[in-house]
Amino acid sequence: MKQAIRWATRFGEGYVNTYEYVVDESLKVLKFDEMTEDWLDFIVECRSGKAHSYDIVEGPIADDVIYNYIQDYLDEKISREAFWALAKFKHPTHQICFNTERSLKTLSFRGLRDFMNKNDDALFYTCSLIEYISRKTKNHPKDIITYLDNDLKRIYDYADVFHCEAIEKVACEFIERSNIACGNFDYISRCKYLVPSYWDIGKVFERLIEDCFEDEDVIEAIHIVYNSWLASKIYNFNSDLYYQPRDYLRECYRNGKILE
């Protein structure tokens, strides 16, 4: 569902149709539970123009990046072993492809839902302001959220207004308003490399919240994500975790561990 919502709302408001799928044992079905050698052979054959006779094909989606690896493999620019060495760091999403008229009869329309693009500036600004105040006062971002309390929703609801002013001014007002004391959470001085901006980290957390929480209250989602195990890992700027693809961070969060 989340993948469908992201596709439907990539240009703003969108609609997602929902269907019930009833298995028909008489259909010819090919299913891949994960990316395997047989999966790669099938994808290569399809990319080469070879037709297949399956009514339904189910399995991992080869996104643009993986398709580029496949094309390099087809063009003999990389070996099969090199393909798998590159592909193992990717975490594709899942799809069911209905290829014949018979297969479409297994679907029954159940309704339509209207969605707005959750990639909203309000959440981005809120997360960036949390990051800015955290650095300014040397408090962990999760503690900043606690300090802000009910003002967190106010920041989110009126982000377009606050964004018209310098973030330094807005931050100082909320530091004073919420009586945020200076702490000793100094993750910036420990960074050995280029420090990402507060806007950069705001974007990381905005995307993580969007990708991991669908219908939940956004303020509750902010609390949950900033108090999660993954937030602590992201704040180690000596690792490369904070600039990993959003899909990878989403899967790490879902699996409760850093994926290899």
243 and 125 part of one domain: yes
pLDDT score at 2: 65
| Residue finishing a domain among 89, 115, 141 | 115
**What is the Cα–Cα distance from 68 to 95, expressed in whole angstroms?**
19
260 domain residue, yes or no: no
Do 107 and 30 lie in a common domain?
Answer: yes
Q: How far apart are CA 88 and CA 83, in angstroms?
A: 9
Domain membership flag for residue 131: yes
Distances (CA, A) of 31 to 38, 57, 60, 70, 99: 10, 6, 9, 20, 13
Mean pLDDT to the nearest integer, 89-98: 79
Give, in order, the Cα–Cα distances in Å from 108 to each of 19, 30, 45, 114, 139.
5, 21, 31, 19, 52
Q: Locate 175 and state its tokens.
A: 């530091």
Q: What percent of the chain has pLDDT over 70?
A: 90
Give the end of a domain, one of 95, 115, 135. Answer: 115
Q: Is residue 250 part of a domain?
A: yes
Tokens of 142: 């999760």
Q: What is the pLDDT of residues 169-217, one digit of tens each?
A: 999 999 999 999 999 988 888 888 888 899 999 999 999 998 888 656 8
Task: Answer yes or no: is pLDDT of 28 > 90.
Answer: yes
CA pair distance 249, 87, nearest whole angstrom: 16
**Average pLDDT of the residues of the chain:** 87
Q: What is the pLDDT of residues 52-72, one digit of tens each?
A: 999 999 998 766 677 778 888
70 and 150 fall within a common domain: no
Task: State whether 68 and 153 are in the same domain.
Answer: no
* Domain match, 146 and 203 both: yes
| 170 and 209 belong to one structural domain | yes
| Both tokens assigned to 108 | 């029954």
In a domain, 212, yes or no: yes
Which residues lie below 8 Å from residue 1, measured CB to CB, with a gap of 6+?
Answer: 16, 214
The answer as to whether 179 is a domain residue is: yes
Q: Band of the pLDDT at 27, cuts 50, 70, 90? A: very high
Asked if 75 and 130 sit in the same domain, the reply is: no
The per-residue pLDDT for 147 is 96
Residues 131 and 20 in one domain: no
Query: Does 167 score more than 70 pLDDT?
Result: yes
State the total domains in the chain: 2
95 lies in some domain: yes
Residue 13 lies in a domain: yes
Residue finishing a domain among 57, 89, 115: 115
Residue ranges making up the domain that contains 53 = 2-115
- Confidence at residue 117, expressed as pLDDT on a 0 to 100 scale: 53
Name, in order, each residue with C-beta under 8 angstroms of 115's C-beta and a sequence gap of 6 or more. Answer: 5, 8, 9, 13, 14, 15, 16
